[in-house]
Each structure stands twice: as structure tokens, then as C-alpha cells.
Amino acid sequence: MNPETIGSILESVIGIVVLIGALISVISVIGLIRLPDVYLRSHAATKSATLGVLFILNGAFLYFWIFEDHFSIKLLLGIVFVFLTGPVGGHLNGRAAYRSGVSLWKGSVRDDLKEDLKRERQERQEGRGL
């Protein structure tokens, strides 16, 4: 294979990676609009949007590395930062919503934290002597 064909194939693969990231981000937006409560929306926002952004950033990183001969530390740091902070931020948003009393969707079948939160509040009151 000649170098032009390989370059064309690599461009197509990188374009597909970026396109997959964009499609996953669109799915995330649809989830934000359609899902019924803050917990499900948070799940859609963190999982899908994080994955979509990671695909797009990886495509950009590969493009600059392969075609521009530029190894971008900034893009790598962006990938690591999004990978670490997106899911953690979504978890903390859901936890804050739950602890502040935002109710679950009426179709939810399970609430694993209800008893733990009740026990924690009771222990906190007993510890204060209330």
C-alpha cells in the first residue's frame, strides 16, 4: 500500500472516531431531554457525554499526532481530566440531590440508600444528644 492510501484510511478511521463521539453526545442530549428524574438525567449526562467527549478528544489527539507530527500533552491531560472528573461529578450531583431530598421517579423500583441515610441521620442525632 502506498502512503497516500494509508493516510486516507487513517483519516477515515479518525473521522469515524470523532463521528462516534458526536453521536454518543447526541444520545446524551436525548437522554437529558427524555428521562424523567434528576438521577437518570445525571446518568445520561455523565456516562454518555463523558464517553462522547473522550472519543472526540482521542480523535483529535490521533489526528494531530499522526498527520501534524504534534504530540499534544494538553489533549492527553484533557482526556485524563474528563475521564476522571466526569463520572465523579455526576456521582456527587446525584448524591447531593438525594441527600437534599429530591424524590425518585415514581417508576423506580428500588432505593438502596434510603435505609442507610435514615440510619446515618439517626446516628448523627444520637451523637449530638438530641
Higher per-residue confidence, 95 vs 14? 14
Residues 70, 62, 2: CA angle, nearest 5 degrees: 90
Please classify residue 98 by burial: count the beta carbons closer than 10 Å to its beta carbon, then call 0-12 exposed, 13-18 middle and 19+ buried: middle
Cell numbers 465523579 label which residue? 88
List Cα–Cα distances, 100 to 28, 61, 107, 112, in angstroms.
25, 40, 20, 16
Q: For residues 72 and 97, what is the distance between their CA atoms, to the nearest angstrom? A: 37
Q: Using one digit for the tens of pLDDT, what is the confidence trace for 25-61? A: 999 999 889 989 888 888 888 888 899 999 999 999 9
pLDDT at 130: 54
Q: Using one digit for the tens of pLDDT, what is the confidence trace for 48-105? A: 889 999 999 999 999 999 999 999 999 999 999 999 999 899 989 988 988 888 888 8
List Cα–Cα distances, 12 to 8, 24, 107, in angstroms.
6, 18, 43
Strand, helix or coil for residue 114: helix
What is the value of pTM for the model shown? 0.80
